Amino acid sequence: SEGHAYFDLADFEVSPGNGLVCYSVDTVGRRVYELRFLDLRTGEELPDRIPRTAGGCAWADDRTVFYTIKDHTLRSYKVFRHVLGTDAADDVEVYHERDEAYSCDVYRSRSDRYVIIDTESTLTSEYWLLPTDEPLGEFRVFLPREEGHEHSIYHHPGGFYILTNWQARNFRLMACGEDDSNDRSKWLEVVPHREDVRLEDVDLFRDHLVLSERREGLTHIRIRRLSDGKEHEIGFKDPAYVTWTGTNPEWDTHELRYGYTSFTTPQSVYLHDMNAGTDTLLKQQEVLGDFDAGNYTSERTWATAPDGTRVPISVVHRRDVALDGKAPLLLYGYGSYGISMEPTFSIARLSLLDRGFVFALAHI
């Protein structure tokens, strides 16, 4: 960053052989990045520089990297291939998203088998695949886009898992063979659609399938062993909380990193052993002063809207404040675009609680 008034290190990706790293920097503040390459064995910068990129990249092998560029509106719309040691001006365009409602990204599958182009609009998604052992080949479409079809794909040896809203407004999980992605009649249902559960995300590992779900407004993490289908769910002590899976780049692992917080628990990072079902706290947000989580308590209740819909409400207060209607109450709520506010920890809110307030969050 020396010599620059502004310097942003945006992203980095280590090569498959762990010898190189591709990283992106912005020295202007425009969110347009230059890709640079560093030899991790010698500490020396490679001469390759790629200007005006979107910041991310995906390695196919130790010599070939794919990246996206932005148009004048900062929409990621083209994917290029760069071979180390060649002039960036000679890089080959491998994908062009011409529909201005869509933007694209490129990444390497966790299984390391594919480079994947992900192109999405608000309610529609499409994927293009290239085997990592064919870096100079052509991408093929996983399934042609269909207006309103949202899906995500996860490669596993022999095929793909697909998180999809096809005939499933709350999403379901399906699977298909390596060459059957274009024929949905050959897709098999793995986790069915449920009217009362939204399947929000999937993390796929060599031996385990991790399902992030929302039931009655609360987030849950469910883990399935692929060899025999045996399942367990991570348990949480608070009645109102939020949890999410973290960054888990390793394919061959039985450890899952996830985050957790509640009205009374500062943001925390845990490591979950998917074989043993045990959790280890790695780090928790520091709260200065004499904070004691035991001084506060939370609960969950429900209200009925005029149309009959039951709305969950998370409540927090000091243990020495009675819920007898005499304490002042701050009720807050916001929801739109299918997203509701979560019962997260707030240092600023402690001042309100310590002065005798009850805080309630309506998950609308």
Q: What is the DSSP string of 209-226?
A: EEEEEEETTEEEEEEEET
Do residues 78 and 93 make contact, with C-beta atoms less than 8 angstroms apart? yes
Strand 268-273 relative to strand 278-284, pairing: antiparallel
- Residue-level pLDDT at 265: 98
d(CA 205, CA 212): 14
Question: 90-144 pLDDT, tens per residue?
Answer: 999 999 999 999 999 999 999 999 999 999 999 999 999 999 999 999 999 999 9
Do residues 98 and 104 make contact, with C-beta atoms less than 8 angstroms apart? no
Q: Is 279 found in the same domain as 306?
A: no
Which pTM does this prediction carry?
A: 0.93
Which structural domain range is residue 267 located in? Answer: 59-284
Q: Which residues of 298-335 are buried (b: 16+ CB within 10 A; e: fewer)?
A: bebeeeeeeeeeebbbbbbbbeebeeeeeeeeeeeeee
- Residue-level pLDDT at 324: 93
Beta-bridge partner residues of 110: none
Query: Of the candidates 284, 319, 341, which is a domain's last residue?
Result: 284
Q: Which two tokens stand for residue 159?
A: 């095929």
Mean pLDDT for 69-95 is 97
The sheet with strand 188-191 has its strands ordered as: 151-156, 159-164, 172-177, 188-191
**120 is a domain residue:** yes
Q: Is 299 found in the same domain as 278?
A: no
CATH of the domain at 231: 2.130.10.120
Query: Of the candidates 233, 267, 284, which is a domain's last residue?
Result: 284
- Tokens 């290239």 sit at which residue? 130
Question: 308-330 pLDDT, tens per residue?
Answer: 999 999 999 999 999 999 999 99
Q: Which residues contact 317 (CB under 8 A, 6 or more apart)?
A: 296, 297, 323, 327, 353, 357, 358, 359
Q: Is 198 found in the same domain as 312?
A: no
Number of helices and strands in the chain (H, E) = 1, 29
- Residue-level pLDDT at 144: 98
Question: 242-283 pLDDT, tens per residue?
Answer: 999 999 999 999 999 999 999 999 999 999 999 999 999 999
Tell me the three state secondary structure of residue 301: strand
**53 is a domain residue:** no
Mean pLDDT for 200-220 is 97
**37 is a domain residue:** no
Q: Is 227 found in the same domain as 201?
A: yes
Q: Is 300 found in the same domain as 261?
A: no
Q: What is the DSSP string of 139-151?
A: -EESS---TT--E
Mean pLDDT for 298-313 is 95
Q: Is 223 found in the same domain as 304?
A: no
**27 is a domain residue:** no
**157 is a domain residue:** yes
Q: Is 317 found in the same domain as 207?
A: no
Tell me the three state secondary structure of residue 354: helix
Q: Is 267 found in the same domain as 305?
A: no
Q: Is 113 found in the same domain as 72?
A: yes
Show contacts of 19-28: CB within 8 Å, 24+ apart.
19/62, 20/46, 20/62, 20/84, 22/57, 22/59, 22/65, 24/53, 24/55, 24/56, 24/57, 26/55
Confidence class of residue 340 from pLDDT cuts 50, 70 and 90? confident
Confidence class of residue 338 from pLDDT cuts 50, 70 and 90? confident
**10 is a domain residue:** no
- C-alpha torsion 214→215→219→223, nearest 10: -80
Q: Is 307 found in the same domain as 251?
A: no
Q: Is 111 found in the same domain as 206?
A: yes
**177 is a domain residue:** yes
Q: Which two tokens stand for residue 176?
A: 């298909």
Do residues 57 and 12 make contact, with C-beta atoms less than 8 angstroms apart? no
Q: Which two tokens stand for residue 130?
A: 């290239």
pLDDT of 335 over the 90 cut: no
- Residue-level pLDDT at 2: 83
Q: Is 279 found in the same domain as 166?
A: yes
Query: Of the candidates 284, 315, 350, which is a domain's last residue?
Result: 284
pLDDT of 339 over the 90 cut: no
pLDDT above 90 covers a percentage of the chain that reads: 96
Question: 178-187 pLDDT, tens per residue?
Answer: 999 999 999 9
**261 is a domain residue:** yes
Number of domains in the chain: 2
pLDDT of 18 over the 90 cut: yes
Strand 335-336 relative to strand 339-340, pairing: antiparallel
What mean pLDDT is reported for the chain? Answer: 96
- Residue-level pLDDT at 226: 97
